[in-house]
Chains A and B, each alone.
Chain A
């Protein structure tokens, strides 16, 4: 299993007046090479669950093992190191920096790693070609189309060759054509052995043939969705 969550509890503002239990004894596993969908309304704890799987912060208690590393009480520094080796993120609004060029956006995760500019470009070139955005490499990212943005976001998520891809509501602001194109890319990555976790309540996603398992997240609890 690439993702193992056992009795995960996450409490914000512990011990204070505004204490909130965001996750309540969550159990979840994701096998290597699987594509999993997390479904749930806003405030259900979905973002918190993504943050834990994404090694952004550790759980308050419980056992969380992501790609073989136990997260419990890892300091932020080591979480970050593990995250950049393990997780590729695709955000809800893609979160591309509009004033940087396409190439610079894709290379962003490599910059703090002490990789020389030449080597960074060598790592980005194949991704530019693969996703057909080579002709846009020097364009400011704010000037490209929605579909191209999507491909830049995926390329950036893959630059570090992470085993896990996390996508947070990737199709929320896309039309159906682009949504289908996105899902095609995800199935392709799954075929290459990547583990895909998508948080979405879009039927296009939940009904996609590539999705192996759907988890419903509600009030901080997770259950398998059999509907």
Chain B
């Protein structure tokens, strides 16, 4: 299903991302091969200049990845109006085996490009550019993701078959599985899930504050790992439990409909702090090895503390916003 504006926009963005990251990789290869800080020749000067190009391209790549993620979700919602059995974006993503993996690749891309930008900022904070080779090796390792993204996109769009009335058949291709609502996740014990969810959040608050206070490597690692696990837990709880309170429908468990106007675009206010808290919670752990470079020790330590503060603050915002509808329902007995 390529012949519609949404598919064209997604393909165009994908092609542009491949181009941007491709050019950045060209710089990566040149830097890895020829970087010599002691040299004072045209080549080295050109490389130093190209670093700015590559960092700008990766920043653009990150921006495009975020836009393309949102566009993908909106497009899936649009496609649901053409696909049999699909009530909303979730249905579209489940229409073939490539929809969900594509979503996950896009989310992963966002985090990885973001991490590269953090590494870049650390690198340029020191006169010696101590991380230059590491960050470009990292870029080369991460860049195939943009090709995977494009391939999955093409396979996904190619595999979508709009439900057009055919001339002969009476068959209705309803994969609704017993209803018009399709869910990513099955039923879960609400109380148990929420207990785990809020308990984990409480643990994260404690661990975050401890990490900020004591600034110990072990605490950063604990916080980072707990945050990574929380990402999965949060999405699970949001989809399986909390979303139905947002929609005021017990069997509507869609992670995407909350981004729509009908629900006051509340999804943006929930997902944004969630991504922020996870990214800024995991990054201190990931950049810890950079402390091994003596010139960066102080800068890394400062950045880790700042990120923990951002992470805990974003977690608080997320906790309030994701729980709002549940609390309104439980305490006030529903809306209106």
A residues contacting B by CB (< 8 A) are: 11, 13-16, 58-61, 73-78
Chain A residues near B42: list those with CB within 8 A: 13-14, 16
B48-A14 in contact (CB<8A): no
B residues contacting A by CB (< 8 A) are: 37-42, 45, 48-49, 124, 127, 129
Cβ-defined partner of B40 (8 Å) among A16, A60, A77, A78: A60
Closest 5 CB pairs of A and B: A60-B40, A14-B41, A78-B127, A76-B48, A75-B48
Chain B residues near A59: list those with CB within 8 A: 40
Cβ-defined partner of A73 (8 Å) among B38, B49, B124: B38
User: Do A77 and B124 contact each other (CB < 8 Å), given the known contacts A13-B42, A16-B42?
Assistant: yes
- Chain A nearest CB from B29 CB (Å) reads 20
Chain A residues near B49: list those with CB within 8 A: 76
A59 to B38, CA, bound (A): 11
Beta-carbon nearest neighbor of B40 in chain A: A60
Chain B residues near A13: list those with CB within 8 A: 41-42
Chain A residues near B124: list those with CB within 8 A: 77
Report how many A-B pairs have Cβ atoms within 8 Å: 26
Chain A residues near B48: list those with CB within 8 A: 75-76
A73-B40 in contact (CB<8A): yes
A177 to B129, CA, bound (A): 49
A76 to B48, CA, bound (A): 8
Beta-carbon nearest neighbor of A78 in chain B: B127
User: What are 13 A-B contacts with C-beta separation under 8 Å?
Assistant: A13-B41, A13-B42, A14-B39, A14-B40, A60-B40, A73-B37, A73-B40, A74-B127, A75-B37, A75-B48, A75-B129, A77-B124, A78-B127
- Chain B nearest CB from A74 CB (Å) reads 6
Chain B residues near A16: list those with CB within 8 A: 42
A77 to B49, CA, bound (A): 10
Chain B residues near A15: list those with CB within 8 A: 41
List 16 additional contacts besides A73-B40, A74-B127; criterion CB under 8 Å.
A13-B41, A14-B39, A14-B40, A14-B41, A14-B42, A16-B42, A59-B40, A60-B40, A61-B40, A73-B37, A73-B38, A75-B37, A75-B127, A76-B48, A77-B124, A78-B127
- Chain B nearest CB from A116 CB (Å) reads 22
Chain B residues near A76: list those with CB within 8 A: 45, 48-49
A16 to B38, CA, bound (A): 18
Beta-carbon nearest neighbor of B124 in chain A: A77
- Chain A nearest CB from B53 CB (Å) reads 13
User: Do A58 and B127 contact each other (CB < 8 Å), given the known contacts A75-B48, A76-B48?
Assistant: no
Beta-carbon nearest neighbor of B37 in chain A: A73
A15 to B36, CA, bound (A): 15
A11-B129 in contact (CB<8A): no
A15 to B45, CA, bound (A): 14
Beta-carbon nearest neighbor of A77 in chain B: B124
- Chain B nearest CB from A57 CB (Å) reads 8
Chain B residues near A78: list those with CB within 8 A: 127
Beta-carbon nearest neighbor of A19 in chain B: B41
A95 to B209, CA, bound (A): 53
A189 to B35, CA, bound (A): 43
- Chain A nearest CB from B123 CB (Å) reads 10
Beta-carbon nearest neighbor of B129 in chain A: A75
Centre residue among A15, A58, A61, A77 by max chain B CB count within 10 A: A77
Beta-carbon nearest neighbor of A10 in chain B: B40
